[in-house]
């Protein structure tokens, strides 16, 4: 078990594959050169390649549209924070802090941690920048990478992206509903059908009374608990409610439920959140076993789940989660009574679900013009003409590295570009360029200075023809 203060030990093979020397044989059979293999990516880390980009772009668009509509301002957070921030904020006995943080001591002897989540940093930033003096609530959003030393598996990485929303400075239940609604709408706009599982953990006082009852119940059934759950019973009994150990389903079914121990104020608050969700037609399900894994939550907690998961992994893992954390800002020395609510969606999990649902956006480029060049002079001039198209907002593609016209036109055909422009040696000398209609093959020679305007005119004419054709077919 790693100590909480020591750097997280990383097993050797996970750091990187060792540099491997590979001997190559020449014609004589003797080794002629030694090549070394590049160290591979670390376990749980991955590259995001261009063919996945369309879905990331779409997620960016949806985030921006939602946060603009609901008045959230973007915040960019540092990747490293003092370890104590997470120990105090997230909780020393949580899995995240106890087992999953990438922690080290720097050259100056400062203990620091690669952020495992964003809420503790947001609370720090709210206090540090005196946001208390701004009109409340202060609504912030972020899209950042986070780091947890978890066992990598589908949808679980050691570096992952979260889209987070935090609304600080008001305990109004409408804000809980707003954050939940935004999470649900984000998924919906990505083509996913989700249900939000909700529960209330009440205030720390009502929760203490509940936990005492829960401990009493599980102590009476201690023999039925696995070794892991027996440890939970001592350290963090609430976590028994989301235990997946064998036999726990039946035990949990008879366990006392939090809802019966909620104080009046928490109960009222929860009812209001549910009313707002009903009104906004956000699909939700009450889940009395939902406790979340981080210590700062009070009252509302929720998780965003696929309504009809296809794989087992989808059934188990949340696309996102959040809740109210009324005690965190006071805990960090902020003003007493500063309430807050927030959530974060895991973007890799969203991506996996979008892919499984067959809703990946088309990542093929849709260029309108293809630029062909023949010869060195044309290529040189071409760079400037190409830039003129880009400045005019016309999406233009090229194959500058190919010199043969046929090969270039083949690329244009593959991209289904409606118009190509062709610049040869002769055209460079004459100050002209050829515009080719890729559908009919018709070509015209035009003044190079007018090519952008003329090409855009031809594109418009093609559009009109296409619309007329479609209207006739209808
Ligand atoms: P969380 O439930 O720990 O909450 O993480 C939120 C989401 O991040 C998860 O539902 C999941 O989709 C994604 N996620 C977590 N760990 C991984 C991982 N190892 N690999 C891939 N995705 C992962 C929080 O972090 C809270 N700060 C949310 C919050 C904001 N509560 C209030 N405000």
Tokens of 191: 């083509």
Please give the chain's pLDDT, 474 residues, in tens: 333 334 433 333 454 444 444 444 545 556 566 678 899 999 999 999 988 999 999 999 999 999 999 999 999 999 999 999 999 999 998 899 999 999 999 999 999 999 999 999 999 999 999 999 999 999 999 999 999 999 998 889 999 999 999 999 999 999 999 999 999 999 999 999 999 999 999 999 999 999 999 999 999 999 999 999 999 899 889 989 988 888 899 999 999 999 999 999 999 999 999 999 999 999 999 999 999 989 999 999 999 999 998 875 555 689 999 999 999 999 999 999 999 999 999 999 999 999 999 999 887 768 999 999 999 999 999 999 999 999 999 999 999 899 899 999 999 999 999 999 999 999 999 999 999 999 899 999 999 999 999 999 999 999 898 889 888 887
95 within ligand 1 shell (Cβ under 6 A): no
Q: For tokens 């920048």, name the residue.
A: 129
Domain boundary among 325, 356, 387: 356
Q: How far is CA 360 from CA 352, 354, 415, in A?
A: 10, 6, 19
Task: Tell me if 3 is assigned to some domain.
Answer: no
The whole-number pLDDT of residue 203 equals 94
Q: Are residues 396 and 344 in the same domain?
A: no
Domain boundary among 307, 334, 356: 356
Could you tell me the distance, in angstroms and rounded to a whole number, from the CA of residue 146 to the centre of ligand 1?
9
Could you tell me the distance, in angstroms and rounded to a whole number, from the CA of residue 344 to the centre of ligand 1?
6
User: Is-contact 354 360, C-beta < 8 A?
Assistant: yes
122 within ligand 1 shell (Cβ under 6 A): no
Q: Are residues 317 and 391 in the same domain?
A: no
Alpha-carbon torsion 177, 178, 179, 181, what sign? positive
Q: Are residues 400 and 279 in the same domain?
A: no
318 within ligand 1 shell (Cβ under 6 A): yes
Task: Tell me if 96 is assigned to some domain.
Answer: yes
Domain boundary among 308, 325, 356: 356
Could you tell me the distance, in angstroms and rounded to a whole number, from the CA of residue 371 to the centre of ligand 1?
45
Q: Are residues 346 and 424 in the same domain?
A: no
Tokens of 163: 């889209």
Residue bearing the CA closest to ligand 1, atom 10: 320
Could you tell me the distance, in angstroms and rounded to a whole number, from the CA of residue 159 to the centre of ligand 1?
11
Query: How many Å apart are CA 283 and CA 291, to the nearest integer?
Result: 19
Choose the residue to mutate in 162, 313, 324 for probing ligand 1, maximizing ligand atoms within 8 Å of C-beta: 162
Domains of the chain: total: 2
Tokens of 209: 């009374």
Task: Tell me if 27 is assigned to some domain.
Answer: no
Q: For tokens 């209330």, name the residue.
A: 200
Per-position b or e across 63-94, b if 16+ CB within 10 A of its CB: beebbeebebeebebeeebebebbbbbbbeeb
Q: Are residues 312 and 409 in the same domain?
A: no
| Residue 101, domain extent | 50-203+263-356
Could you tell me the distance, in angstroms and rounded to a whole number, from the CA of residue 44 to the centre of ligand 1?
16
Q: Are residues 324 and 410 in the same domain?
A: no
Residue bearing the CA closest to ligand 1, atom 16: 156
For the entire predicted model, the pTM comes to: 0.86
Contacts of 276 (CB under 8 A, 6+ apart): 173, 174, 176, 177
Classify residue 309 as exposed, middle or buried by CB count within 10 Å of its CB (0-12, 13-18, 19+). Answer: middle
Q: Strand, coil or helix: what is 225?
A: coil
Contacts of 303 (CB under 8 A, 6+ apart): 196, 197, 287, 290, 292, 318, 320, 321
Tokens of 230: 């027996």
DSSP state of 189: H
Nearest-atom number in ligand 1 for the CA of 100 is 19
Q: Are residues 268 and 130 in the same domain?
A: yes
Q: Are residues 172 and 279 in the same domain?
A: yes
Taking residue 305's Cβ as centre, other Cβ atoms within 10 Å add up to 21
Task: Tell me if 45 is assigned to some domain.
Answer: no
Task: Tell me if 83 is assigned to some domain.
Answer: yes
157 within ligand 1 shell (Cβ under 6 A): yes
Instruction: Please give the backbone phi and psi of residue 308, each rounded to the nearest 5 degrees, phi first.
Output: -125, 80
Classify residue 433 as exposed, middle or buried by CB count within 10 Å of its CB (0-12, 13-18, 19+). Answer: buried
Tokens of 176: 């809980």
118 within ligand 1 shell (Cβ under 6 A): yes
Query: How many Å apart are CA 188 and CA 95, to the nearest integer?
Result: 30
Give the CA dihedral 173, 175, 180, 184, nearest 10 degrees.
130
User: Is-contact 427 433, C-beta < 8 A?
Assistant: yes
Query: How many Å apart are CA 91 and CA 207, to the nearest integer?
Result: 16
Query: How many Å apart are CA 448 and CA 455, to the nearest integer?
Result: 11
Q: Are residues 340 and 379 in the same domain?
A: no
164 within ligand 1 shell (Cβ under 6 A): yes
Task: Tell me if 386 is assigned to some domain.
Answer: yes
CATH number (domain holding residue 382): 3.40.50.800
Q: Are residues 348 and 388 in the same domain?
A: no
100 within ligand 1 shell (Cβ under 6 A): no
């Amino acid at each position: 078990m790693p100590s909480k203060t020591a750097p997280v030990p990383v097993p050797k093979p996970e750091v990187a594959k060792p540099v491997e020397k590979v001997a190559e044989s020449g014609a004589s059979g003797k080794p002629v050169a030694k090549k070394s293999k590049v160290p591979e990516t670390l376990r749980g880390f991955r590259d995001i390649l261009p063919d996945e980009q369309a879905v990331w772009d779409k997620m960016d668009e949806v985030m921006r549209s939602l946060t603009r509509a609901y008045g959230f301002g973007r915040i960019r957070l540092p990747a490293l924070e003092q370890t104590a921030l997470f120990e105090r904020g997230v909780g020393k006995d949580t899995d995240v802090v106890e087992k999953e943080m990438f922690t080290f001591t720097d050259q100056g002897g400062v203990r620091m941690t690669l952020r495992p989540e964003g809420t503790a940093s947001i609370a720090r930033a709210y206090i540090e920048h005196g946001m208390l003096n701004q009109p409340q609530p202060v609504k912030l959003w972020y899209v950042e990478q986070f780091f947890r030393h978890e066992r990598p598996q589908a949808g679980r990485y050691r570096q992952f992206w979260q889209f987070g929303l935090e609304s600080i400075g008001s305990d109004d239940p409408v804000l809980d509903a707003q954050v939940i609604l935004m999470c649900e709408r984000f998924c919906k706009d990505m083509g996913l059908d989700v249900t939000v599982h909700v529960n209330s953990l009440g205030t720390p006082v009502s929760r203490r009374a509940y936990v005492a009852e829960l401990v009493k119940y599980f102590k009476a059934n201690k023999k039925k608990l696995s070794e892991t759950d027996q440890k939970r019973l001592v350290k963090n009994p609430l976590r028994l409610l989301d235990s997946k150990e064998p036999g726990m389903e039946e035990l949990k079914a008879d366990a006392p439920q939090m809802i019966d121990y909620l104080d009046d104020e928490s109960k009222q608050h929860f009812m209001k959140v549910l009313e707002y969700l009903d009104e906004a037609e956000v699909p939700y399900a009450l889940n009395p076993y939902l406790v979340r894994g981080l210590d700062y939550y009070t009252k509302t907690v929720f998780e965003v789940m696929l309504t009809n998961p296809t794989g087992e992994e989808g059934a188990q893992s949340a696309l996102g989660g959040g809740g109210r954390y009324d005690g965190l800002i006071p805990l960090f020395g902020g003003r007493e009574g500063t309430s807050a609510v927030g959530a974060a969606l895991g973007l890799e999990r969203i991506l996996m679900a979008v892919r499984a649902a067959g809703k990946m956006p088309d990542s093929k480029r849709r260029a309108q013009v293809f630029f062909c060049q023949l010869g060195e002079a044309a290529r040189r001039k071409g760079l400037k003409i190409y830039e003129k198209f880009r400045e005019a907002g016309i999406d233009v593609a090229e194959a500058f590295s190919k010199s043969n016209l046929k090969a270039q036109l083949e690329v244009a055909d593959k991209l289904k570009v409606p118009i190509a422009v062709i610049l040869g040696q002769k055209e460079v000398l004459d100050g002209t360029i050829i515009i080719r209609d890729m559908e009919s093959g018709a070509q015209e020679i035009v003044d190079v200075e007018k090519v952008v305007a003329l090409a855009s005119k031809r594109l418009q004419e093609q559009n009109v023809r296409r619309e007329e054709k479609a209207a006739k077919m209808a």
